[in-house]
Structure 1
Amino acid sequence: MRMAHPQGRGVPAISRAKRTGWTRLGTTALAAVALVGLTLPAGAQAEPPAFSRDYAPAPGRDLGRDVLGADDGWAAEGAGTTGGAAADDAQVFTVRTRAQLAAALDGGSPVPKIIYVRGTIDANTDAQGRPLSCADYATDGYTTEKYLTAYDPRTWGGQKPSGPQEEARAASAARQAERVELAVGSNTTLVGIGRDAVLKGASLQVKDASNVIARNLELRDAYDCFPVWQPNTGGLGDWKTAYDNIWLRGANHVWVDHVTISDKGHPDAAEPTYFGRNYLRHDGLLDITNGSDLVTVSWSRFADHDKAMLIGNGDNVTTDRGKLRVTLHHNSFKGVAQRAPRVRFGQVHVYNNAYEVPEGADYRYSWGVSTESRIYAENNAFTTPGHVEAADLVKSWNGSALHQSGAEFNGYPVDLLAIHNSYNSGSERDLEPDVGWTPALHGPIDGAAKAAKDVARGAGAGRIG
Structure 2
Amino acid sequence: MRLRHAAVAAGLLTLLCVPAQADDNTRDLGRETLAPHDGWAAAEGGTTGGAAADDAHVYTVTDRAGLVRALDGGSDTPKIIRVAGTIDANTDDDGRRLDCADYATDGYGVKKYLAVYDPRTWGAAKPSGPQEEARKASAARQAERVVLPVGSNTTLVGLGDDAVLKGASLQVKNADNVIVRNLELRDAYDCFPVWQPNTGGLGDWKTAYDNLWLNGATHVWVDHVTASDKGHPDEKEPTYFARNYLRHDGLLDITGGSDLVTVSWSRFADHDKAMLIGNGDSVTGDRGKLRVTLHHNEFRSVAQRAPRVRFGQVHLYNNRYVVEEGDADYRYSLGVSTESAIYAQNNAFTTPGHVEAADLVKSWNGSALHAEGSLFNGYPVDLLTLHNAYNSGSERDLTADVGWTPVLHGTVDSAAAADRAVARGAGAGRLR
TM-score range, shorter chain: over 0.9
Please give the secondary structure, in 1, of the residue aligned with 2:68.
Answer: helix
Among candidates 429, 436, 440, match of residue 407 of structure 2: 440
Question: What does residue 423 of structure 2 align with?
Answer: 456
Question: What does residue 73 of structure 2 align with?
Answer: 107
| Counterpart-to-counterpart distance in 2, 1:247 and 1:373 | 20
Q: CA deviation at 1:54?
A: 4.1
Alignment of 1:222-233 (within 5 A): 222-233=188-199
Question: What does residue 317 of structure 1 align with?
Answer: 283
Among candidates 369, 373, 397, match of residue 402 of structure 1: 369
TM-score (norm 1): 0.89
Question: What does residue 340 of structure 2 align with?
Answer: 373
Q: Deviations over 1:242-276 (max 9, x none)?
A: 00000000000000000000000000000000000
Q: CA deviation at 1:136?
A: 0.3
| Counterpart-to-counterpart distance in 1, 2:358 and 2:238 | 31
1:249 aligns with 2:215: yes
Question: What does residue 249 of structure 2 align with?
Answer: 283
| Counterpart-to-counterpart distance in 1, 2:90 and 2:290 | 31
| Counterpart-to-counterpart distance in 1, 2:109 and 2:341 | 44
1:386 aligns with 2:353: yes
| Counterpart-to-counterpart distance in 2, 1:330 and 1:172 | 39
Q: Which runs of 4+ in 1 moved over 3 A?
A: 15-19, 54-58
Letter in 1 for 2:346: N
Question: What does residue 50 of structure 2 align with?
Answer: 84
Task: Tell me if structure 2 keeps the 8 A contact 1:55–1:116.
Answer: no
Alignment of 1:201-212 (within 5 A): 201-212=167-178
Flag the 1:357–1:57 CA change in 2: closer, same or farther, 3 A.
farther
Q: Deviations over 1:271-291 (max 9, x none)?
A: 000000000000000000010
Please give the secondary structure, in 1, of the residue aligned with 2:182.
Answer: strand
Please give the secondary structure, in 2, of the residue aligned with 1:177.
Answer: helix
Please give the secondary structure, in 2, of the residue aligned with 1:136.
Answer: helix
Q: CA deviation at 1:58?
A: 7.0
TM-score (norm 2): 0.96
Please give the secondary structure, in 1, of the residue aligned with 2:178.
Answer: strand
Letter in 2 for 1:449: A
Task: Tell me if structure 2 keeps the 8 A contact 1:123–1:199.
Answer: yes
Q: CA deviation at 1:60?
A: 5.7
Flag the 1:57–1:247 CA change in 2: closer, same or farther, 3 A.
farther
Q: Deviations over 1:389-414 (max 9, x none)?
A: 00000000000000000000000000
Task: Tell me if structure 2 keeps the 8 A contact 1:335–1:358.
Answer: yes
Q: Deviations over 1:56-112 (max 9, x none)?
A: 357262100000000000000021000000000000000001000001000000000
| Counterpart-to-counterpart distance in 2, 1:156 and 1:107 | 40
Among candidates 273, 279, 284, match of residue 307 of structure 1: 273
Q: CA deviation at 1:161?
A: 0.3
Please give the secondary structure, in 1, of the residue aligned with 2:224.
Answer: strand
Task: Tell me if structure 2 keeps the 8 A contact 1:55–1:193.
Answer: no
Please give the secondary structure, in 1, of the residue aligned with 2:396.
Answer: coil
Alignment RMSD, CA only?
A: 1.3
Please give the secondary structure, in 2, of the residue aligned with 1:417.
Answer: helix
Question: What does residue 264 of structure 2 align with?
Answer: 298
Q: What is the aligned length?
A: 422
Task: Tell me if structure 1 keeps the 8 A contact 2:197–2:203.
Answer: yes
| Counterpart-to-counterpart distance in 2, 1:416 and 1:17 | 54
Task: Tell me if structure 1 keeps the 8 A contact 2:287–2:312.
Answer: yes
Question: What does residue 330 of structure 2 align with?
Answer: 363
| Counterpart-to-counterpart distance in 2, 1:412 and 1:193 | 39
Flag the 1:189–1:234 CA change in 2: closer, same or farther, 3 A.
same
Letter in 2 for 1:206: V
Task: Tell me if structure 1 keeps the 8 A contact 2:228–2:268.
Answer: yes
Question: What does residue 271 of structure 1 align with?
Answer: 237
Q: Deviations over 1:266-321 (max 9, x none)?
A: 00000000000000000000000010000000000000000000000000000000
Q: Deviations over 1:348-384 (max 9, x none)?
A: 0000000000012120000000000000000000000
Question: What does residue 427 of structure 1 align with?
Answer: 394
| Counterpart-to-counterpart distance in 2, 1:125 and 1:322 | 40
Task: Tell me if structure 2 keeps the 8 A contact 1:57–1:63.
Answer: no
Calculate percent identity across the aligned residue pairs: 78
| Counterpart-to-counterpart distance in 2, 1:417 and 1:58 | 51
Please give the secondary structure, in 1, of the residue aligned with 2:200.
Answer: helix
Task: Tell me if structure 1 keeps the 8 A contact 2:336–2:369.
Answer: yes
Task: Tell me if structure 1 keeps the 8 A contact 2:63–2:88.
Answer: yes
